[in-house]
Structure 1
Amino acid sequence: MLSVTPAAEAATAAGHPAPAGHAAPADHPASAEIATAHALLRCCVRELAGPRGQVWPAEPYLLLRLAGTLLRVRGGPVGCSLRFSGAPDELRDGVWRPVGSERLAELAEAELTAVTGVPNGEFAGQVAAGRAAIEAILAARAGAAPPPDRWLESEQSLVYGHAFHPTPKARGGAPGAWLEYAPEAHASFPLRFLGVRDCVIGGDTGVIDSLAPPCPPGHTPLPVHPWQASLLAAELAGPLSDGRLIDLGHGSPVVPTSSVRTVYDPAAGVCLKFSLDVRITNCVRKNAWYELAGAVELTDRLGPVFDALAADFPGARWLREPGYRAPDLGTRLLEGLGVIVREGPWGVVSPGVTPVLAGALTSGHGRAAAVIGSAPDPLEWWAAYVSLVAPPVLHAYLAHGVVLEPHLQNVLVGLDSGGHPVEAVFRDLEGTKLVGHDLSGLPEGVARSLTYNAERGWSRVVYCLVVNHLGEVAAEVSRHVRDQGRVWAVVRECLASYADEFGCPLPLADLLAGAPLPAKANLGVRWARDADRAAGYVPVGNPLAASSPLPAGTA
């Protein structure tokens, strides 16, 4: 446990005594500015101040030192998460003064430059752009009607984005360029369709033909995200002029889901995953050639795995990605216009079950955000939730060598008519990897993209499942239960029960014994301007430990 240092005592004594036993509030942000400041502070606690011992509790505040400046914010650790409320302050000339996200970005820049020895002239602008994006989303959302489909409404509720990312809503271009395509603004728009003379097709893509306008003989219809069409206008001009591509017009309206680039066609009940040549959060979102082929390969390989998982865990579901199409016009347009077909969730959940995005449970927006608080017994609701999500993910890795990526945007929870969790749907094969599988028959690039070693695979499973997913939902559950210690005891009991039934290999034993958890270093990878796949991990306290957990952001 952290102890209060003299700096913490002095801060508390500066006119703000901490009442004994006061629980840190866990309110959701009230503005783009507060949301941006909180996200940046969480990253700084986890990746900068925490590992250096520069974080102290002083209830009702958490104190941290950043670039020599003492900061405070109401809130603190909740399991392996951090929950803050209100605006942060900095201590200047012995007086606490409000500090905004711009100033916090300056302090983070100074600290990161000193630690890494490398400057980053883009960072402050990206933080500001993320704040501007949230402001634009909130304004657009206020005048827009959410979709009647409850699942789609949950997909469009992630207004503030990733809790531990320094630029959770940053995306390329000014808001005027992308608001009409933004899920958070309740967007809906028609796709553009091109006829492709030379088309690469992998797997089953027949559903695309049913969505497309009439296409002349000798060409294959290809849906294109209209934002991507505008981004690639210069590259498309030549093929459109010489007939390698023809413009077929527009199809029926589709609805963007939480990833921005994946859309759902309500009429066909199918999802389409596009490339977008813009940075969204951390990465340029492109379907690389090996990811197109890999989606079909994984769909074929994972069929038997999920059949076995469903036999052991009847609530487990997944969304297949049975095919892709792309123009055979060189790598740039093949990847830029390649589209992956994905099943829609309504086709895999049981009758009477409503899928909602897991991330929406903690978003503070939309109907799904009220689900936990509306449960007659939130702790019993939580036990059901954990039992649906955690065991299939662990078993996929430990028994089948499959690394799922069950973070908050990749899992849908199926709710019955009373809002009780009864199914879990896993999706997005881009992050799914294989450990110890024979991939010798695949092209080298595809095989390499589908492979993790055992250590990297386990770190990814634990980060996505425990830190990113269960950690954030547990923090939300903790707002609604009297005995907060029971929240993580429920997780431990579920994992221990799994171990009793299926065995407890060393990595699972270490997890249950309280080994530090790997938390993805989003601040570090953004500062380094690396691809998302290059992100490392920082250790954070494990609330599954039998003893009191370490505070979030420290090991």
Structure 2
Amino acid sequence: MSDTVRARHLALAEEATVAALLRCCIREIAGPRGRVRTAGPYLTARIAGTPVRTRAGGGIALRFTGPAELLEGGSWRRLTSAELVGLIERELGAGGEVNDEFGAQVAASRDAIAALLAARERADPPADPWLASEQALVTGHPFHPSPKAGVAAPGYAPEAHARFRLRLLGVRADLVAEGGDTAVLDRLGLAPPGYVPLPAHPWQLELLAPDLAGPLADGRLIDLGHCPGLAVPTSSVRTVYHPGTGVCLKFSLNVRITNCVRKNAWYELAGAVELTRRLRPVFDELAGRHPGTRWLPEPGYRSAALGTRLLEGLGVIVRSAPWQVCGAGVTPLLAGALAAPPYGPAASAGAPPGVPEAVRARRAADPVTWWRAYVERVVPPVLDAYADHGVVLEPHLQNVLIGVDADALPAEVIFRDLEGTKLVAGRHDLSGLPARVAAALTYEPERGWNRMAYCLVVNHLAEVAATVAASARDARRPEHRERLLGELWAVAAEVVARHAGGRPPVRELLSRCSLPAKANLGVRWRRAADRAAGYVPVPNPFVRAGSAGRSGKAW
């Protein structure tokens, strides 16, 4: 790789890192403390008493259209990620709470993005459009301070177009821990008599090597080599698609990515099977009411009963794949890819990675029609699941797939990943479940509403709307994009209102002045578990949609 190419990758990674950090600062620090101002095309935030400015649009999605700049000595100059980290440390450390890992995590994320860009240029994308969309999220979560920290193994990274062979273990039959339907796992390879096959992620086996030494030495586990065929990692890194069986497999991965160590806790293994059983009639009803609604069941799990660490570390959950549930002529695409802004050389052409050209062209030519079809697919089942069934889906951008038809219009929606799906406390009989499993499956009503509102509106619709507005053929000028964005939110508000009826929890989406936004910077600074993440208020774009065609302030 030439020095010029390496410098380009580092520059793109630096730009993405500064943008994500600044979004977090505006949303979680400067905005709530009244330290954000707009003047002409510029948005200026004061962080640790220092003015930082950039050109911004996109409503609450905060899409920056120019470099972030720091005011120093009476003049503006480009802001670096290291300088912004220093301002954040001064701001958040003023109360005495210090995080000596924060800067290293941000730098690691930036370096990982650069490495992924380099690896991506050397690899061929999948021919399958669904898998290409899964592998498109190169810069990661736009509102996380270190979205790619922990992703240090491009050989397993979806963004690097990785493909790899799974490992196969044999678990002594009397030590198998499983639930539900796991028959598909037996198709991944044969185990000798007295053993049961257990697929494993090769990266996880590297991480667990010290713990596995004893069971492999005494025969409780045996190494059976590799599974046939190549597995393809999806956007969640640890969940892979195995073409030979046609299913997805969700592995544990003892790596912190964003806020979570990505392992299947023992109660989540059992909870996936329990939720699959309980959600079947719910999704049958939703699909009857809203044709085109799909979901990916998780019918079974398998692991080894070798203590909690290995039970969780070797646990694998079977999940249906989208091609198994989509209708004829429908192509599934990751919502996150449809929301991703273009980066690097693609930016000038308005071409985000992982989105088929036909979809980009249709969306650019007729953004309002395309958006209306999108919202009509995604919003009603989420609202009905919550209000009528007491089910909190988790429709953030990596948990939703959009099925586009032959006309490149959204025709189906597919919900996945039951780890984040919860039942509203008090509306379900969980008396027959172990207490820890039941607790992990439930949200109190307020917490459930916050999660639904955040994932659906702030995380999902806001990002897709910003991308639709920015990529529209007739919205090249900033004022045109903002006017179109206001029109898109008006369409979304009309869809929500039409499906709200007299249900107060749904109508609150339209009436509250602010909506909850997850505070990823705060939880990373405190080094807390993801479940401890709080929320900060952001202006409700539904409330502001009708104000002179504008989408409202962004903080």
TM-score w.r.t. structure 1 length? 0.91
* 2:218 counterpart residue number: 242
What's the counterpart of residue 407 of structure 1? Answer: 396
Q: Is 1:128 the equivalent of 2:107? A: yes
Residue 428 (structure 1) aligned with residue 410 (structure 2): no
What do the CA deviations read for 1:141-181 (whole angstroms, capped 9, x no partner)? 01100010100000000001111000111116xx3xx1100
Is 1:513 the counterpart of 2:511? The answer is yes
User: After superposition, what is the alpha-carbon deviation per residue over 1:15-62, rounded to whole angstroms, capped at 9, x for unaligned?
Assistant: xxxxxxxxxxxxxx9700000000000000000000111111123221
Partner of 1:171: 150
What is the match of residue 345 of structure 2? Answer: none
Structure 1 partner of 2:47:
66
Asked if structure 2 preserves the Cα contact closer than 8 Å seen for 1:540 and 1:550, the reply is: no
Residue identity (%): 63
Deviation at 1:81, TM superposition (A): 1.4
Write the distance in 2 (CA, Å) between the matches of 1:511 and 1:358. Answer: 21
Instruction: Map 1:69-88; keep pairs closer than 5 Å.
Output: 69-76=50-57, 78-88=58-68
Q: Secondary structure of 2:462's partner?
A: helix
Matched, 1:474 2:465: yes
What SS does the corresponding residue of 2:442 show, helix, strand or coil? coil
Q: Deviations over 1:396-424 (max 9, x none)?
A: 00000000000000000000122110000
Rounded Cα–Cα distance in structure 1 between residues aligned with 2:422 and 2:316: 20
Instruction: Say which SS state the counterpart of residue 80 (structure 1) adopts.
Output: helix
What secondary structure, in the 3-state scheme, does the structure 2 residue paired with 1:276 have? Answer: coil
Verify the 8 A CA contact 1:42 1:163 in the aligned structure 2.
Answer: yes
Q: 2:362 touches 2:370 (CA, 8 Å); kept in 1?
A: no
Which of 516, 525, 528 pairs up with 2:526? Answer: 528
Report 1:287-326 matches (<5 A).
Answer: 287-326=264-303
Distance 1:194 1:101 in 2: 43
Aligned twin of 2:89: 109
Match of 1:256 among 219, 233, 236: 233
Which one of the candidate residues 436, 440, 443 is aligned to 2:431? 440
Contact 1:79 1:488 in 2 (8 A): no
Deviation readout 1:495-551 (Å, 9 max, x if unpaired): 01102xxx2322322221243100000000010111111101000001101554542
Q: 2:496 and 2:20 mapped to 1: Cα distance?
A: 30
Deviation at 1:292, TM superposition (A): 0.1
| 5+ long unaligned stretches in structure 1 | 1-28
The residue number in structure 1 matching 2:123 is 144
Q: How does 1:189-268 map to 2 (within 5 A)?
A: 189-197=164-172, 198-212=175-189, 214-251=190-227, 252-268=229-245
Equivalents in 2 of 1:51, 1:373: separation in Å? 38
Residues 443-466 of structure 1, C-alpha deviation per residue, up to 9 Å, x if partnerless? 000000001111110110000000
Look up the SS of the partner of 1:70 in the other structure.
strand
Q: 1:368 aligns with which of 352, 355, 361?
A: 355
Aligned length in residues:
515
- Separation (CA, whole Å) in 1 of partners of 2:11 and 2:398: 22
Q: 2:125 matched to 1:155?
A: no
Aligned counterpart, 1:457: 448
Alignment partner, residue 285 of structure 1: 262
Distance between the aligned counterparts of 2:264 and 2:361, measured in 1? 38
SS at match of 2:23: helix
The secondary structure found in structure 1 opposite 2:505 is: helix
What corresponds to 1:5 in structure 2? none
Unpaired segments of 5 or more residues in structure 2? 1-9, 343-351
- Amino acid corresponding to residue 352 of structure 1 in structure 2: G
Q: For the residues of structure 1 that align with 2:275 and 2:106, how far apart are their CA atoms? A: 36
The question of whether the paired residues in 1 share the 8 Å contact of 2:82 and 2:103 is answered with yes
Measure the CA separation in 2 of the matches of 1:432 and 1:473: 22
Q: Does 1:354 align with 2:331?
A: yes
Q: Distance in 2 between matches of 1:85 and 1:279?
A: 31
Secondary structure of the 2:355 match is helix
SS, match of residue 554 in structure 2: coil
Inter-partner Cα distance in structure 2 for 1:30 and 1:232: 35
Q: CA–CA distance in 2 between the matches of 1:240 and 1:509?
A: 57
For 1:443 and 1:129, the matched residues in 2 are separated by: 39
Q: Does the CA contact (< 8 Å) of 1:519 and 1:538 recur in 2?
A: yes
Please give the TM-score of this superposition, normalised by the length of structure 2. Answer: 0.91
Matched to 1:542, the amino acid is N
Give the CA deviation at 1:271. Answer: 0.3
Runs of 4+ aligned structure 1 residues displaced above 3 Å come to 546-550
AA in 1 matched with 2:49: G
Query: What is the aligned counterpart of 2:320 among 343, 364, 376?
Result: 343
Aligned to 1:3: none
CA distance in 2, matches of 1:527, 1:134: 21
Is the deviation greater in 544-553 or in 147-156? 544-553
RMSD: 1.4
277-286 or 78-87: bigger deviation: 78-87
Q: In the alignment, residue 505 of structure 1 is paired with which amino acid? A: R
Residue 274 of structure 1 aligns with an amino acid whose one-letter code is F
How many angstroms apart in 1 are the aligned matches of 2:356 and 2:253? 29
1:369–1:93: structure 2 CA closer, same or farther, 3 Å change rule? farther
SS of structure 2 residue aligned to 1:170: coil
SS in 2 for 1:86: coil
Kept in 2, the 8 Å contact 1:514–1:543? The answer is: no
**Aligned mates of 2:554, 2:524 — CA distance in 1:** 20
Q: Residue 405 of structure 1: SS of its match in structure 2?
A: coil
Kindly indicate whether the alpha-carbon contact (under 8 Å) linking 2:21 and 2:84 is maintained by their aligned counterparts in 1. yes
Q: Give the whole-Å Cα distance in 2 for the aligned partners of 1:171 and 1:155.
A: 18
For 2:375 and 2:130, locate their aligned partners in 1 and report how far apart those are by CA, in whole Å. Answer: 20
Give the distance between the partners of 2:246 and 2:77, measured in 1 at CA. 52
SS in 2 for 1:428: coil
Q: Distance in 2 between matches of 1:374 and 1:380?
A: 9
